[in-house]
């Protein structure tokens, strides 16, 4: 660190005038020459020391805010139901299914493992007591709380590395320390603490990387590039919203590459591609490996059958110890089987009654024997499976995928048949009926069906094989839906031929083979747990996670719309205790968030004014200030936008806490906006000098007293608001009715015990 | 993090954004990326003079070539029409279009596809009965106007696909011709759009002919549908905008204003046909912003002058379209003055304007008065009970929400102890009351039973309970909590006032709120809307008002209130909101719906109609379609390539062609993007015909690509090439024309016409040879007819399936209602069956009025009572 004279209050800000402004090429020195020292930091040692003190102080505050009475409440709160449970499952090795990637849950589980928790408790209901169930919940909560606290110094250092004066950095860190939502959400057994922590790590690493850009491919450059890659990988391994962080870094990298591509940078295409591949390796390949690694661990740990089995295919389930899938019997031609519908669990059924010739709506049927879906076990559910060739029934041979079969209804001895006649209730679907064996065989081709196995390998089995029955002649799938037939059909469920054979609801399975003797079952059932390649397992699980996540459209009383988040019009009730009238109500720091929303508006206004005036040939901003504004604040703004706007496109149920990552960015933006308004000039340069970069004169920011005063006022407002709402964030003390009424600034906040 | 060279580079391009004055004015940028312009300038090319020089060079390189089209648009008015080659070309093409589009337009002689809806709306307009539809009114009113002029008998209701037009003498031919002519007009407009963008006659004619011979556009414009007007107004807007753009060197001139104004009118009209008109608004909007941005960078233009530019555009492109749009609704409201099947969608004040009347009621509500209580969160109607019991839960008397006026909606308000004070005592906020159902003498009651349909833990059953001599119990007590009130009447926040106080009824014992949502009870409760008592419910669904209030003891001079009849604006806003929520709720699947990703390669069409071994199936001209899609991809690829090459310092100018490609091509490309990409965000069901406006722009883009791609080959080859393309398109059109016109076809030809196996028209319905059509008609015997009938119904059902189902269900439901509870008036029957379907694209729109008990997805109601987030 060079001892350099602080450059001077007398350095006037370079005010570029319109007339003299010229495009500035890096290779040409137009002005600002004469500084020959090699500088590594524009900050003085004294200032660095001061900064460390402030950093330490803020870290302590952050730890206090997160760990304050962390033992309360000693009951299960909100989504601890899920994530606590998952931790238990990890410790016990029981397979479960969740829409989020595994890292954060494994971290919690590891924490539990190290403090000696055996995973006996399943966190079933909000309000279950930890004490009576003997769960070391404080240890479990300590991990998120610690990471939540560590977010604060990292944000401080990020802004510091981006070249902001102490007051700006401290302001951002302070806002993050005393935000009610961040506090509530990070001191419980939830994933968001890890998520936010890794996000800020990503941003920090990228800022560090960007600062080394004048020495490409140096050790430092590689270190921070890889650190960025690792951080975004960890973020994405916590929750899929980490992809938004990836997008943020991606946008920055693309901008960076775009600049490098410029012919005036004089990089050859080979050099440019080297840059490109280095980034691709560190930011795409490395993160993918890390992301997959956690899944590898996930599968390695969860080896026993559990509540997640049913989400997975039967091949997958067979890899788990103690799964019933292994009990599946191989079905051979000539077996009598029962067939059940996957969705509605009815048996494929027929009985000696016919469809009416003419329905109530005057449509005409074939008046053939009814085929219905029946919910109960019954001899009429039994079907005899045989090949499509009457001369060669293939008796005893294994039924394979894509075999063409016929099904004989045993008790009425008639063949299952589909034909182009409208079904009883849906005129677009085909009627399914049966056709007596006594009549002549001319309708053979209408009675043949192809078995299409959806899962469970190539051999048709009970239990394990889900299959579709595709009518060979007309290409419809045998299907049923919860529409009851009228009285003539005994109000059983309608079965018909669905033209859309891709529908998942056309799946059936066979649950038993009639008359197979127990010995044979025993013999077949004794199968070892199967192996399956990691990638197949991963692809399947990832697909299920996506489809399930998109399917979370159920309504929830506390869900909210993204447009509401920056204005905090709705909170979430996390936990209530009737006896003590205590509650935890997730709510951001209202005043802080509103101020931050104002900060965002200010930024947009500044950008608009700057762009418009530059278009008119007027340059209102000092060049360094402008650069800093766009490269730092602009970067954070992109982060905010990318962590917020995509939620508008999501159909699933959304909650206020989804705004947390964006909120961290918004506080950082607020601080830089404050700096933009109150601090004159910027400290520059802050990037490391490189061999090809011309030395530049150092510039110092001037922090006037007003900046400190205004920052102090903002901080005071924020802190007061925090303390005022703190009882709702911590749930450690009850508020009386008038107190709640006073705190209910917006009528949409529905506190409990308010009456 | 800001030293180094990155921002210096940006700086370098910064100043040139302004551009030297002489340049910017000569270069209009339309739909063009400003960055692109910047890079042009940065590389020192592209000012006017050098462009002209280049042009001269090309002229010398290819002597004898006419490159005059290259110059900017010139008025060609000076020529007499018969001398003008262009007009002759357009005349011929339009004449061909008239023949092609209107050929045998009277066939089929029965209702096809969505004519069910749009024909039906025409009848309703003529009757003046209010209805609800998700589309704005313009095109429907045009159809209705045509029908009215030609004497459409409004008793014909277009009820189902296949209904005969001939027998009831429906003037369907003029109605179809009206749509058809709009389709014809698109052809010359395509010509002029390309021509006036500065392209050659070849390109313009090519564009017009490709649009002309596009099977799907032809099919769609021959029937009584909204898409033909939509494409017409969209094409019109673009033409006007191109003409306006050509006036850019002469701002604020008459022509400039006329075309700007006409663009605005076009925007308004497009938007008044369908909301997808928003896409053309976005297209023009971006183009406008680009223009303003260019002007802003032109330092010769003073801020004041710029403001003039801005105001002129804001007026013509914002105010004018809005005025047009609102005007259409004004006409809509004027025509639909009386009550109809759309009433049920609208609020009570709105219904007041449709001939529903409500007597004035006393303002203050006293104990002992008889009131009717209306639910605010849904348009479900009044708190209702009748002499039937629940078959579930407590098996006590049902309490429902019923949309029509009826004596069973009357409740008497009693004190907490079930008495009525002798003196007048008014009800205040927070009072506990009981509600006695007048006709059955039972009290509104709730208890710890699961609600009949919504069986989640937060819903409790609400019943009417009690018998003579029973004093009631604590479960009859409800607390009145006023949650909102009319601002003009401050007292209504404290005292319960008729119409003005919006209140919750909170059950005293269980602390749940009286609640209703768009969930229908089963048939045993006549499919009326469910009422429950719910905890943690959203406030909107628990809000009620007193609508009528009667009590003999009120003094003579009591202050009376009634709904304020809403003015045009509030009606307009309300109807648009309802349209929006209904539209968003169209999420059911349809046998022929498709996702946008399948459109550019036309994976599948739509079956419109089938009868007598003839079939109408919406499918495009694959040749035109794939050429246009290829042009779009090519354009995107070329622009990306050029973008990268610019950055690497290569200056591809292609002899000045690039500018043209980026200008007109860029605009059409942007229009295509705006008419296509937003569909990906829509959750509702979509159909192939939603792609047609985008297809139109893709065809224009293709003709531009063709023009510039052929620029360097001699003119006669260019002509030959254009003729080849057109002939191929015509051939492809001709070979699939039977699907467009519903004319005779044979099975082998049908089989041969399938380019993709996923085109699912059934070739088996066509006979082997044409002569079988004659024999088919001759041999149609009784039995055969019966079979055929079944078959037809099957076909029809493909389109109108849900409609049919609904009708089947709705009518008996209403009948039953009348039979079983006499009090529910006869009016109910009609409304019940009619109000059941409002439609879009052959689909029932509002799940709230279908009888299957589905909840519309747009409903903000709380359904899942788990207090834990599903992780």
Minimal Cα–Cα distance from B859 to chain A, Å? Answer: 10
Please give the pLDDT value at position B352: 84
The verdict on a CB contact (< 8 Å) between B868 and A82 is yes
Could you tell me the end-to-end alpha-carbon distance of chain B, in angstroms, rounded to an integer?
39
State the DSSP code for B5.
S
Please give the pLDDT value at position A155: 96
Distance CA B171, CA A656 (A): 57
The verdict on a CB contact (< 8 Å) between B299 and A623 is no
What pLDDT, in 10s, does the model give residues B308-317?
Answer: 999 999 999 9
Please name the member of B299, B644, B863 whose beta carbon is closest to the beta carbon of A617. Answer: B299
Minimal Cα–Cα distance from B21 to chain A, Å? Answer: 12
Of A270, A271, A276, whose CA–CA distance to A254 is shortest? Answer: A276
User: Residue A376 above 50 pLDDT?
Assistant: yes
Please give the pLDDT value at position B340: 84
Chain A positions touching B649 (Cβ under 8 A) are: 263-264
Distance CA B612, CA B610 (A): 7
Please give the pLDDT value at position A67: 94
Phi/psi of residue A409, each to 5°?
-75, 120
Distance CA B521, CA A281 (A): 60
The verdict on a CB contact (< 8 Å) between A555 and B794 is no
Please name the member of B648, B801, B867 whose beta carbon is closest to the beta carbon of A263. Answer: B648
Phi/psi of residue A289, each to 5°?
-60, -45
Phi/psi of residue B511, each to 5°?
55, 40
Instruction: Say if CB B680 and CB B596 are below 8 A apart.
Output: yes
Distance CA A291, CA A246 (A): 13
Of B234, B240, B266, whose CA–CA distance to B255 is shortest? Answer: B240
What are the angstrom distances between the C-alpha of B515 and each of A442, A466, B461, B529, B536? 61, 42, 10, 11, 10
Mean pLDDT for B185-193 is 95
What pLDDT, in 10s, does the model give residues B653-677?
Answer: 877 788 888 888 999 999 999 999 9
Chain A positions touching B862 (Cβ under 8 A) are: 555-557
Which residues are paired to A373 by β-bridges?
A348, A493
CA-nearest residue to B678 within chain A is A649
The verdict on a CB contact (< 8 Å) between B15 and A21 is yes
A35: confidence class by pLDDT, cuts 50, 70, 90: very low
| Angle at B512 (CA atoms; ends B506, B513), nearest 5 degrees | 55
| Tokens 């001139």, located at residue | B253
What pLDDT, in 10s, does the model give residues A96-147?
Answer: 999 899 999 999 999 999 998 988 888 888 888 898 888 899 999 999 999 9
Within 10 angstroms of residue B295's Cβ, the number of other Cβ atoms is 18
A148: confidence class by pLDDT, cuts 50, 70, 90: very high
What pLDDT, in 10s, does the model give residues A431-477?
Answer: 888 888 777 667 778 888 888 887 666 788 777 778 888 888 888 88
Minimal Cα–Cα distance from A638 to chain B, Å? Answer: 16
CA B411 to chain centre: 41
Please tell me whether residue A399 adopts helix, strand or coil conformation: coil
Residue from A20, A78, A428, A629 to probe the interface with B (highest B Cβ count within 10 Å): A428
The verdict on a CB contact (< 8 Å) between A624 and B2 is yes
* Torsional class of A735: left (φ above 0), alpha (ψ -120 to 50), beta (otherwise): beta
Minimal Cα–Cα distance from B236 to chain A, Å? Answer: 32
The verdict on a CB contact (< 8 Å) between A624 and B867 is no
The verdict on a CB contact (< 8 Å) between A556 and B17 is no
Please name the member of B11, B296, B644 whose beta carbon is closest to the beta carbon of A615. Answer: B296
Instruction: Say if CB B828 and CB B814 are below 8 A apart.
Output: yes
What pLDDT, in 10s, does the model give residues B127-153?
Answer: 998 998 889 999 999 999 999 999 888
Please give the pLDDT value at position B81: 62
CA-nearest residue to B647 within chain A is A262
Of A635, A623, A269, A627, whose CA–CA distance to B647 is shortest? Answer: A269
User: Residue B647 above 70 pLDDT?
Assistant: yes
Quick one: B10 exposed, middle or buried, by C-beta within 10 A (0-12, 13-18, 19+)?
middle
Please name the member of B7, B17, B867 whose beta carbon is closest to the beta carbon of A615. Answer: B17
Contacts 24+ apart (CB under 8 A), B326-330: B326/B568, B326/B572, B328/B136, B328/B137, B328/B138, B328/B141, B328/B272, B329/B136, B329/B137, B329/B568, B329/B571, B329/B572, B329/B575, B330/B568
What pLDDT, in 10s, does the model give residues A689-740?
Answer: 888 777 777 888 889 999 999 999 999 999 999 999 999 999 888 888 888 8
| Tokens 């001079």, located at residue | B557
Distance CA A345, CA A511 (A): 10
Distance CA A234, CA A246 (A): 11
The verdict on a CB contact (< 8 Å) between A26 and B9 is yes
Chain B positions touching A209 (Cβ under 8 A) are: none
Mean pLDDT value across chain A: 85
CA-nearest residue to A753 within chain B is B511
Residue from A22, A26, A209 to probe the interface with B (highest B Cβ count within 10 Å): A26
Please give the pLDDT value at position B458: 80
Instruction: Say if CB B118 and CB B190 are below 8 A apart.
Output: no
CA atoms B105, B111, B112, B117: torsion sign: positive
On the CB side of B121, CA atoms within 13 Å amount to 31
Please give the pLDDT value at position A523: 53
> SS3 string of B519-561?
EECCHHHCCCEEEEEECCCCHHHHCEEEEEEECCCCCCCCCEE
Whether a cis peptide bond, with omega within 30° of 0, leads into A359 is no
Distance CA A558, CA A657 (A): 11
Please give the pLDDT value at position B826: 25
What pLDDT, in 10s, does the model give residues B796-815?
Answer: 434 443 333 333 333 333 33
Instruction: Say if CB A553 and CB A565 are below 8 A apart.
Output: no
Within 10 angstroms of residue A377's Cβ, the number of other Cβ atoms is 12
B230: confidence class by pLDDT, cuts 50, 70, 90: very high
Please give the pLDDT value at position A505: 80
| Tokens 């059509």, located at residue | B773
Whether a cis peptide bond, with omega within 30° of 0, leads into A586 is no
Phi/psi of residue B860, each to 5°?
-90, 20
Chain A positions touching B2 (Cβ under 8 A) are: 163, 624, 627-628, 631-632, 682, 684-687
CA-nearest residue to B11 within chain A is A23
Of the two residues A473 and B723, the one the predictor is more confident about is B723
Please tell me whether residue A501 adopts helix, strand or coil conformation: coil
The verdict on a CB contact (< 8 Å) between A684 and B296 is no
What pLDDT, in 10s, does the model give residues B73-101?
Answer: 444 455 566 667 888 899 999 999 999 99
Instruction: Say if CB B225 and CB B183 are below 8 A apart.
Output: no
Q: Which two tokens stand for residue A496?
A: 């018909």
B613: confidence class by pLDDT, cuts 50, 70, 90: confident
Please tell me whether residue B305 adopts helix, strand or coil conformation: helix
Chain A positions touching B11 (Cβ under 8 A) are: 23-24, 623
A521: confidence class by pLDDT, cuts 50, 70, 90: low
The verdict on a CB contact (< 8 Å) between A82 and B871 is yes
User: Residue B319 above 60 pLDDT?
Assistant: yes
Instruction: Say if CB B179 and CB B222 are below 8 A apart.
Output: yes
Mean pLDDT for A498-509 is 80
What are the angstrom distances between the C-alpha of B565 and each of A600, B332, B348, B354, B355? 42, 17, 10, 10, 11
Please name the member of B4, B9, B870 whose beta carbon is closest to the beta carbon of A554. Answer: B870
User: Residue B840 above 50 pLDDT?
Assistant: no
Q: Which two tokens stand for residue A732?
A: 């450690």
CA-nearest residue to A616 within chain B is B297
Of the two residues A425 and A217, the one the predictor is more confident about is A217
CA-nearest residue to A656 within chain B is B869
Please give the pLDDT value at position A440: 62
The percent of residues above 70 in pLDDT, for chain A, comes to 91
Of B510, B546, B338, B346, whose CA–CA distance to B426 is shortest? Answer: B546
The verdict on a CB contact (< 8 Å) between A616 and B297 is yes
Distance CA B825, CA A54 (A): 78
Spell out the residues 6+ positions from residue A186 whose beta carbon is closer than 8 angstroms to its own: A66, A144, A145, A147, A148, A149, A151, A192, A193, A196
Q: How many CB pairs under 8 A join A and B?
A: 164
| Angle at A702 (CA atoms; ends A700, A704), nearest 5 degrees | 165
CA-nearest residue to A84 within chain B is B871
What pLDDT, in 10s, does the model give residues B422-454?
Answer: 888 899 988 999 999 998 889 999 988 888 888
Taking each continuous run of H as one helix and of E as one strand, the counts in chain B are: 27, 18
Mean pLDDT value across chain B: 78
Instruction: Say if CB A212 and CB A220 are below 8 A apart.
Output: yes
Minimal Cα–Cα distance from A612 to chain B, Å? Answer: 8
Please name the member of B7, B18, B808 whose beta carbon is closest to the beta carbon of A615. Answer: B18
Distance CA A76, CA A66 (A): 18
Please name the member of B9, B296, B868 whose beta carbon is closest to the beta carbon of A612. Answer: B296
Instruction: Say if CB A230 and CB A294 are below 8 A apart.
Output: no
CA-nearest residue to A648 within chain B is B681
Distance CA B419, CA B422 (A): 9
Minimal Cα–Cα distance from B632 to chain A, Å? Answer: 25
Please give the pLDDT value at position B628: 95
Which residues are paired to A405 by β-bridges?
A387, A449
Chain B positions touching A256 (Cβ under 8 A) are: 6
Instruction: Say if CB B687 and CB B619 are below 8 A apart.
Output: no
**Least confident among A280-289, A626-635, A713-722, B456-465:** B456-465
Please give the pLDDT value at position A286: 96
């Amino acid at each position: 660190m060079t001892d350099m004279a602080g450059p001077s209050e007398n350095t006037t800000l370079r005010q570029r005038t319109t007339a003299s402004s010229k495009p500035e090429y890096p290779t040409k020195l137009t002005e600002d020459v004469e500084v020959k020292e090699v500088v590594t930091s524009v900050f003085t040692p004294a200032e660095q020391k001061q900064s460390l003190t402030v950093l330490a102080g803020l870290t302590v505050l952050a730890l206090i805010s997160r760990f304050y009475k962390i033992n309360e409440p000693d009951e299960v709160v909100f989504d601890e139901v899920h994530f606590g449970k998952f931790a238990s499952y990890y410790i016990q090795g029981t397979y479960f299914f969740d829409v989020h990637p595994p890292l954060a849950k494994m971290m919690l589980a590891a924490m539990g493992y190290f403090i000696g928790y055996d995973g006996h408790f399943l966190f079933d209901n909000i309000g279950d007591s930890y004490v009576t169930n003997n769960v070391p919940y404080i240890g479990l909560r300590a991990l998120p709380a610690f990471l939540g606290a560590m977010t604060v110094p990292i944000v401080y250092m990020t802004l510091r590395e981006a070249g902001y004066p102490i007051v700006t950095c401290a302001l951002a860190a302070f806002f993050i320390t005393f935000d009610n939502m961040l506090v509530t959400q990070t001191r419980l057994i939830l994933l968001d603490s890890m998520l936010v922590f890794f996000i800020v790590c990503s941003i920090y690493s990228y800022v560090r990387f960007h600062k080394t850009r004048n020495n490409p491919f140096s050790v430092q450059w590689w270190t921070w590039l890889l650190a960025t890659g690792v951080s975004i990988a960890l973020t994405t391994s916590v929750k899929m919203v980490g992809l938004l962080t990836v997008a943020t870094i991606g946008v920055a990298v693309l901008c960076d590459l775009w600049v490098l591509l410029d012919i005036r940078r004089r990089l050859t295409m080979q050099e440019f591609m080297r840059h490109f591949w280095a980034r691709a390796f560190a930011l795409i390949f490395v993160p993918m490996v890390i992301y997959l690694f956690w899944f590898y661990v996930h599968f390695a740990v969860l080896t026993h059958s559990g509540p997640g089995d049913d989400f997975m295919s039967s091949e997958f389930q067979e890899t788990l110890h103690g799964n019933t899938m292994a009990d599946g019997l191989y079905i051979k031609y000539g077996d009598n089987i029962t067939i059940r519908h996957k969705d509605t669990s009815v048996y494929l059924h027929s009985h000696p009654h016919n469809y009416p010739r003419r329905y109530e709506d005057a449509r005409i049927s074939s008046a053939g024997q009814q085929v219905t879906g029946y919910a109960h076990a019954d001899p009429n559910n039994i079907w005899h499976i045989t090949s499509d060739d009457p001369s060669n029934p293939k008796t005893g041979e294994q039924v394979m995928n894509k075999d063409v079969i016929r099904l004989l209804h045993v008790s009425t001895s008639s063949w299952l048949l589909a034909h182009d006649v409208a079904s009883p209730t849906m005129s677009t679907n085909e009627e399914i009926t049966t056709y007596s064996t006594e009549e002549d065989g001319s309708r053979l081709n209408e009675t043949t069906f192809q078995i299409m196995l959806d899962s469970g390998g190539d051999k048709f089995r009970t239990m394990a094989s889900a299959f579709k029955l595709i009518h060979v002649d007309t290409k419809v799938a045998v299907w049923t839906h919860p529409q009851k037939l009228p009285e003539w059909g005994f109000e059983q469920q309608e079965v018909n031929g669905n033209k859309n054979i891709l529908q998942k609801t056309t799946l059936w399975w066979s649950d038993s083979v009639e008359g197979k003797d127990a010995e044979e079952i025993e013999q077949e059932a004794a199968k070892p747990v199967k192996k399956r390649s990691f990638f197949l397992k991963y692809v399947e699980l990832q697909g299920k996670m996506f489809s399930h996540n998109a399917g979370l459209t159920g309504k929830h009383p506390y869900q909210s719309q993204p447009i509401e988040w920056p204005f905090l019009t709705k909170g979430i009730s996390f936990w209530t205790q009737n006896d003590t009238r205590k509650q935890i109500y997730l709510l951001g720091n209202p005043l802080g968030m509103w101020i931050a929303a104002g900060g965002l508006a200010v930024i947009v206004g500044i950008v608009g004014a700057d762009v418009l005036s530059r278009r008119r040939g007027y340059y209102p901003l000092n060049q360094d200030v402008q650069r800093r504004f766009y490269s730092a604040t602009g970067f954070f703004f992109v982060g905010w936008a990318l962590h917020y706007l995509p939620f508008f496109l999501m159909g699933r149920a959304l909650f206020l806490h989804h705004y947390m990552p964006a909120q961290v960015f918004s506080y950082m933006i607020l601080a830089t906006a404050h700096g933009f308004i109150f601090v004159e000039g910027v400290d520059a340069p802050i990037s490391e000098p490189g061999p090809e970069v011309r030395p530049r004169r150092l510039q110092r920011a001037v922090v006037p007293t007003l900046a400190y005063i205004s920052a102090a006022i903002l901080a005071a407002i924020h802190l007061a608001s925090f303390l005022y709402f703190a009882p709702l964030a911590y749930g450690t003390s009850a508020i009386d009715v008038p107190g709640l009424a006073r705190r209910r600034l917006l009528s949409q906040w529905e506190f409990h015990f308010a009456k | 993090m800001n030293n180094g060279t990155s921002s210096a580079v940006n700086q370098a391009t910064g100043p040139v954004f302004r551009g030297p004055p002489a340049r910017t004015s000569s270069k209009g940028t339309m739909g063009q990326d400003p960055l692109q312009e910047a890079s042009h300038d940065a590389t020192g090319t592209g000012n006017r003079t050098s462009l002209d020089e280049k042009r001269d060079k090309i002229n010398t390189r290819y002597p004898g070539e006419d490159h005059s089209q290259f110059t900017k648009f010139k008025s060609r008015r000076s020529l007499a029409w018969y001398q003008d080659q262009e007009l002759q070309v357009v005349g011929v093409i339009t004449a061909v279009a008239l023949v092609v589009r209107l050929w045998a337009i009277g066939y089929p002689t029965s209702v096809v596809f969505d004519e069910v809806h749009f024909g039906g709306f025409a009848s309703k307009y003529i009757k003046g009965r209010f209805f609800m539809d998700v589309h704005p009114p313009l095109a429907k009113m045009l159809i209705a106007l045509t029908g009215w002029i030609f004497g459409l008998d409004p008793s014909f209701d277009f009820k189902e696909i296949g209904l005969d037009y001939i027998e009831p003498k429906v003037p369907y031919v003029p109605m179809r011709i009206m749509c058809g002519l709009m389709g014809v007009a698109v052809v010359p407009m395509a010509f002029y759009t390309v021509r006036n963008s500065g392209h050659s006659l070849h390109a313009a004619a090519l564009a017009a002919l490709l649009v002309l011979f596009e099977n799907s556009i032809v099919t769609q414009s021959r029937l009584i549908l909204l898409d033909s007007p939509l494409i017409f107004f969209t094409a019109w807007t673009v033409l006007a905008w191109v003409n306006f753009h050509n006036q850019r060197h002469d701002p604020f001139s008459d022509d400039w204003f006329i075309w700007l104004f006409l663009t605005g009118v076009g925007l308004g009209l497009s938007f008044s046909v369908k909301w997808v008109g928003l896409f053309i608004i976005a297209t023009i909007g971006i183009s406008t912003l680009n223009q303003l941005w260019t002007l802003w960078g032109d330092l010769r233009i003073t801020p004041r002058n710029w403001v003039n530019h801005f105001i002129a555009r804001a007026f013509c492109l914002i105010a004018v379209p809005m005025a047009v749009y609102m005007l259409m609704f004004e006409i809509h409201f004027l025509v639909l003055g009386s009550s109809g099947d759309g009433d049920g969608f609208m609020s009570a004040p709105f219904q007041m304007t449709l001939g529903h009347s409500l007597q004035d009621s006393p303002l203050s509500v006293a104990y002992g008065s008889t009131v009717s209580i209306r639910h605010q969160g849904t348009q479900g109607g009044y708190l209702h009970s009748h002499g039937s019991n629940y078959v579930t839960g407590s098996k006590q008397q049902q309490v429902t929400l019923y949309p029509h006026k009826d004596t069973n909606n009357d409740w008497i308000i009693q004190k907490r102890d079930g008495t009525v004070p002798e003196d007048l005592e008014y009800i205040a906020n927070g009072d506990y009351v009981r509600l006695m159902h007048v006709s059955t003498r039972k009290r509104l009651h709730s208890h710890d039973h699961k609600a009949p349909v919504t069986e989640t833990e937060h819903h409790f059953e609400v019943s009417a309970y009690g018998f003579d001599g029973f004093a009631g119990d604590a479960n009859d007590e409800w607390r009145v909590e006023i949650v909102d009130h009319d601002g003009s009447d401050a007292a209504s926040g404290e005292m319960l006032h008729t119409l003005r106080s919006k209140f919750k009824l909170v059950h005293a014992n269980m602390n749940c709120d009286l609640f209703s949502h768009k969930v229908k009870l089963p048939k045993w409760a006549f499919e009326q809307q469910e009422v429950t008592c719910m905890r943690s419910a959203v406030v909107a669904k628990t809000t009620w008002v007193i609508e009528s209030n009667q009590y003999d003891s009120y003094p003579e001079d009591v202050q009376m209130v009634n709904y304020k009849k809403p003015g045009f604006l509030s009606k307009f806003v309300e109807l648009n909101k309802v349209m929006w929520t209904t539209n968003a709720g169209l999420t059911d699947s349809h046998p022929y719906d498709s996702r946008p990703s399948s459109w550019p390669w036309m994976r599948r069409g739509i079956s419109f109609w089938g009868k007598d071994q003839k079939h109408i199936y919406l499918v495009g001209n694959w040749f035109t379609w794939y050429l246009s899609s290829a042009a779009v991809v090519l354009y995107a690829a070329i622009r990306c390539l050029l973008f990268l090459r610019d950055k690497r310092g290569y200056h591809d100018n292609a002899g000045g062609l690039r500018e043209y490609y980026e200008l007109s091509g860029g605009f059409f490309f942007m229009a295509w993007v705006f008419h296509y990409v937003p569909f990906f965000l829509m959750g509702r069901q979509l159909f192939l015909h939603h792609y047609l406006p985008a297809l139109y722009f893709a065809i224009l883009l293709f003709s531009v690509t063709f023009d510039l791609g052929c620029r360097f080959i001699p003119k006669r080859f260019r002509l030959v090439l254009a003729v080849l393309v057109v002939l191929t398109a015509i051939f492809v059109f001709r070979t699939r024309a039977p699907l467009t016109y519903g004319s005779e076809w044979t099975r082998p030809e049908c089989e041969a016409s399938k380019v993709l196996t996923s085109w699912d028209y059934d070739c088996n319905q066509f006979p082997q040879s044409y002569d079988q059509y004659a024999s088919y008609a001759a041999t149609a015997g009784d039995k055969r007819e019966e079979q055929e009938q079944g078959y037809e119904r099957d076909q029809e059902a493909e389109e109108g399936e849900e409609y049919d189902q609904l009708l089947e269900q709705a009518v008996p439901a209403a009948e039953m209602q009348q039979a079983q509870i006499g009090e529910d008036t006869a009016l109910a029957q009609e409304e019940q069956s009619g109000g059941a379907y409002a439609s879009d694209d052959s689909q029932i729109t509002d799940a709230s009025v279908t009888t299957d008990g589905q909840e519309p997805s747009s409903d903000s109601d709380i359904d899942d009572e788990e207090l834990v987030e599903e992780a």
